């Protein structure tokens, strides 16, 4: 068994299906409010992780931190060390389209990027990171059952939050990119390389076109539809 440098859980403590919010306190919130018999398996670096059950299905929820390097570390260890097979990112994103509104759920069918992450694989071209269709299908059915409208399409995972060019987003918007976030591409690349399944879904927290944005409190508490949709996927896995 490979060594886990950043999680430190014991073998068998993490489920095959893991939901990954960026904020470890959101992982704690999900564990305490949505899971039964949830037990904390890691507090390393305060990147909290829990395992419990949701409607009888064993699942884990693990913070990923912010950005592709952090997501890459945690998802890599979950797959390689703990044998996790399904990893679902549940986070926030900024809308690049006028009709993708605050609190809408966006499912990343694919993840473009401005990062050099993929070049570590020395591929003879540009790789197109995409979601696992089975997980995407499960998420779609879960949202349909719960009557939570979702948008499915391309998102872009970026390395820089405070962009020096305030109009960079417009070029991605012209290509039909639905939203911007900072983790999905790294998750999809790790899953592809390591033979696991991955999906990213995000709640829209701000809109670059209209200038609207959720408050900090709304960001913390307004993501219940996405959480229910993600956990509802377990019925179809």
CA–CA dist 110, 107 (Å, integer): 9
Q: Note if 206 is an active site residue.
A: yes
Query: Which letter does DSSP use for residue 167 in this model?
Result: T
Beta strand pairing call for 36-42 and 49-54: antiparallel
Task: Confirm if 152 and 109 have CB atoms less than 8 A apart.
Answer: yes
Six-digit token pair at 118?
């993929």
d(CA 41, CA 86): 18
Question: 104, 167, 206, 225: which is the annotated catalytic residue?
Answer: 206
Closest CA relative to residue 230, chosen from 204, 206, 202, 205: 202
Say if CB 184 and CB 177 are below 8 A apart: no
Chain centre distance of CA 131: 11
* Consecutive H or E run containing 64: none
Structure-token match 């913390």, residue found:
220
**Active-site residue list:** 206
């Amino acid at each position: 068994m490979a060594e886990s440098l950043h999680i430190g859980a014991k073998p068998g403590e993490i489920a095959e299906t893991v939901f990954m919010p960026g904020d470890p306190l959101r992982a704690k919130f999900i564990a305490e409010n949505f899971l039964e018999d949830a037990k904390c398996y890691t507090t390393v670096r305060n990147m909290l992780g829990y395992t419990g059950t949701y409607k009888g299905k064993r699942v884990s929820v693990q913070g990923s931190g912010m950005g592709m390097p952090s997501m890459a570390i945690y998802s890599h260890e979950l797959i390689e060390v703990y044998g996790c097979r399904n990893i679902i990112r549940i986070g926030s994103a900024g809308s690049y389209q006028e009709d993708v509104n605050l609190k809408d759920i966006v499912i990343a069918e694919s993840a473009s990027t401005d990062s050099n992450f993929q070049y570590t694989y020395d591929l003879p071209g540009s790789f197109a990171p995409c979601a696992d269709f089975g997980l995407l299908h499960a998420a779609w059915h879960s949202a349909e059952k719960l009557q939570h409208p979702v948008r499915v399409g391309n998102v872009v995972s970026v390395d820089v939050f405070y962009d020096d060019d305030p109009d960079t987003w417009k070029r991605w918007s012209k290509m039909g990119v639905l939203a911007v976030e900072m983790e999905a591409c790294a998750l999809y690349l790790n899953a592809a390389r390591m033979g696991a399944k991955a999906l990213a879904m995000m709640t829209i927290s701000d809109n670059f076109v209209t200038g609207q944005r959720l408050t900090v409190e709304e960001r913390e508490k307004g993501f219940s539809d996405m959480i229910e949709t993600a956990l509802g996927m377990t019925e179809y896995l």
